[in-house]
């Protein structure tokens, strides 16, 4: 990257408005009667109807295309009978939450959007609503995880090419048009679910607004000079203020999207999920080193910033092979501070993903033993609950799913 000095003003003003003021499809608020069954009271998940503590325990439930693209709700492959059987099993065994992914990639068949068409695919939305309603009837709540907005109208109407100084995917969190597109997408999704089956929205545990929020180690974080001005009015000098820029952009994005969700479902919980700095070979906040492996050229949103955002809770993901590795993960995300701030603000912490790679655990017995031991430690460290990666995703053979080896890991988790 050249050392030429320049000024970049992020695209977070539209007609002089900051991102928090940009209207998204001004429409009436959703009718009452779709309040989720789970709420947060004094930093604890509770069941709305009883006020009793609710303990999240469950799985990531995922089906994948051969290209490793999520297709759990593909209209041609969604299996309502199989879904119902699994929900019934989880209910009987005391599990309470399932995390699923919604695929909005318009260029892939069977997803939320279709290239050349406008808006969301009704059949896909109907399958999500069916899943939610079946979960509700079995006493299971659902974390709905989305990726980027669909690359179709109307979501692309206000999107333009990002400034060269802010590369994709970083522009997803810094460009007003892209943030507005994401917000509109989620509002349309919630409206569509309500239209398909109003009662299904009661089963939503949270809207995970984007899986594993992170920046790429690319512009503006690789710039060696210059400055960036965000819609909050602050100008950030580079490279000295990279982390401040990252934190404020992250909070601005989350707050904008959370506000959109609450416009149409005021009592819904909004969550933000991240992997750890250690997981990508980084020491912690401020470490923007470029690493050769592409998957390591990512920097998670700072957990401390997420705790101070309008997200209702922070969801941390771990894939440690032993206790020492987990401690390294925790240190890298400033966990003691995150836990303290979350307590002060009345926000629970969740382990939304944890699992075992087969490269670290050569047998299902060794994996199940560690998973059983590890999951027993989460509560003592301040986590309200956990979700295992994954329930039965044989399409991802590099990790042990809970159903392998005669459900050995699943059985260990029942006891937790």
Mean pLDDT of 190-195: 97
198 pLDDT more than 70: yes
> Quick check: helix, strand or coil at residue 390?
coil
10 pLDDT more than 90: no
Rounded to whole angstroms, the Cα distance separating 298 from 239 reads 17
State if pTM tops 0.85. Answer: yes
The reported pLDDT for the residue numbered 6 is 32
The domain spans of the chain are 39-414
Task: Kindly indicate the confidence band of residue 34, based on its pLDDT and cuts at 50, 70 and 90.
Answer: confident
Q: What is the pLDDT of residues 62-79, one digit of tens each?
A: 999 877 789 999 999 999
Mean pLDDT of 210-238: 89
Q: What is the pLDDT of residues 127-179, one digit of tens each?
A: 999 999 999 999 999 999 999 999 999 999 989 887 778 889 999 999 889 99
Class of domain 39-414: alpha beta
Mean pLDDT of 383-395: 97
Count of Cβ atoms closer than 10 Å to residue 363 Cβ: 12
27 pLDDT more than 70: no
Q: How many residues does the chain have?
A: 416
Q: Which two tokens stand for residue 310?
A: 């309008």
333 pLDDT more than 50: yes
Q: Which of 1-15, 30-44, 210-224, 327-341 bottoms out in mean pLDDT, i.e. has the lowest?
A: 1-15
Task: Kindly indicate the confidence band of residue 33, based on its pLDDT and cuts at 50, 70 and 90.
Answer: low
Mean pLDDT of 174-196: 95
Task: Kindly indicate the confidence band of residue 32, based on its pLDDT and cuts at 50, 70 and 90.
Answer: low
**Portion of the chain with pLDDT greater than 90, in percent:** 81
Mean pLDDT of 323-334: 98
Mean pLDDT of 342-360: 98
HEC per residue, the chain: CCCCCCEEECCCCECCECHHHCCCCCCCCCCCCCCCCEEEECCEEEECCCCCECCCEEEECCCECCCCCECCCCCCCCCHHHHHHHHHHHHHCCCCEEEEEECCCCCCCCCCCCCCCCCCCHHHHHHHHHHHHHHHHCCCEEEEEECCCCCCCCCCCCCCCCCCCCCCCHHHHCCHHHHHHHHHHHHHHHHHHHHHCHHHHHHEEEEECCCCCEEECCCCCCCCCCEEECCCCCEEECCCCHHHHHHHHHHHHHHHHHHHHHHHCCCCCEEEEECCCHHHCCCCCCCCCCCCCHHHCEEECCHHHHHCCCCCEEEEEECCCCHHHHHHHHHHCCHHHHHHHHHHHCCCEEEEEECCECCCCCCHHHHHHHHHHHHCCCHHHCCCEEEECCCCCCCCCCECCCCHHHHHHHHHHHCC
The reported pLDDT for the residue numbered 20 is 35
Task: Kindly indicate the confidence band of residue 19, based on its pLDDT and cuts at 50, 70 and 90.
Answer: very low
The reported pLDDT for the residue numbered 13 is 31
Q: Are 286 and 242 in contact (CB under 8 A)?
A: yes
Q: What is the pLDDT of residues 84-96, one digit of tens each?
A: 999 999 999 999 9
* Average pLDDT value over all residues in the chain: 90
Task: Kindly indicate the confidence band of residue 109, based on its pLDDT and cuts at 50, 70 and 90.
Answer: confident
Mean pLDDT of 119-131: 98
Q: What is the pLDDT of residues 295-312, one digit of tens each?
A: 889 999 999 999 999 999
Going 183 to 185 to 188 to 193, the CA torsion angle's sign is negative
9 pLDDT more than 50: no
Helix intervals (H) in 71-139: 80-92, 122-137
């Amino acid at each position: 990257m050249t050392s030429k000095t320049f000024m970049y003003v992020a695209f977070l003003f539209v007609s002089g408005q900051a991102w928090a003021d940009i209207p998204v499809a001004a429409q009436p608020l959703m009718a009452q009667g779709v309040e989720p069954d789970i709420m947060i009271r004094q930093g604890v998940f509770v069941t709305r109807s009883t006020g009793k503590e609710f303990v999240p325990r469950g799985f990531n439930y995922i089906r994948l295309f051969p290209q490793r693209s999520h297709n759990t709700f593909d209209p041609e492959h969604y299996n309502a009978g199989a879904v119902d059987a699994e929900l019934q099993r989880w209910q009987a065994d005391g599990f309470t939450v399932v995390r699923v992914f919604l695929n909005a990639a318009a260029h892939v068949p069977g997803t939320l959007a279709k290239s050349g068409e406008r808006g969301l695919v009704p059949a896909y939305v109907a399958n999500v609503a069916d899943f939610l309603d079946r979960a509700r009837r079995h006493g299971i709540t659902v974390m709905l995880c989305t990726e980027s907005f669909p690359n179709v109208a109307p979501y692309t109407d206000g999107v333009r090419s990002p400034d060269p100084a802010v590369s994709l995917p970083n522009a997803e969190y810094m460009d007003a048009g892209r943030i507005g597109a994401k917000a509109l997408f989620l509002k349309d999704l919630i409206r569509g679910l309500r239209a398909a089956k109003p009662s299904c929205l009661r089963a939503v545990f949270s809207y995970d607004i984007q899986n594993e929020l992170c920046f790429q180690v690319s512009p503006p974080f690789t710039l060696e000079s210059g400055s960036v001005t965000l819609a909050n009015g602050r100008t950030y000098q580079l490279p000295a203020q990279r982390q401040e820029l990252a934190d404020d952009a992250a909070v601005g994005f989350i707050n904008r999207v959370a506000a959109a969700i609450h416009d149409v479902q005021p009592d819904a919980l909004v969550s933000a999920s991240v992997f750890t700095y250690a997981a990508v070979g980084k020491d912690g906040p401020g470490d923007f080193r470029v690493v050769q492996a592409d998957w390591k050229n990512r920097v998670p949103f700072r957990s401390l910033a997420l705790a101070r955002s309008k997200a209702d809770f922070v969801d941390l993901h771990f894939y440690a092979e032993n206790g020492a590795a987990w401690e390294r993960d925790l240190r890298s995300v400033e966990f003691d501070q995150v836990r303290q701030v979350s307590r002060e603000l009345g926000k629970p912490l969740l382990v939304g993903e944890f699992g075992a790679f087969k490269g670290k655990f050569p047998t299902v017995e060794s994996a199940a033993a560690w998973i059983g031991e590890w999951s027993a430690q989460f509560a003592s460290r301040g986590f309200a609950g956990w979700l295992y990666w994954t329930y039965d995703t044989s399409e991802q053979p590099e990790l042990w799913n809970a159903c392998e080896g005669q459900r050995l890991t699943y059985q260990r988790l029942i006891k937790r």
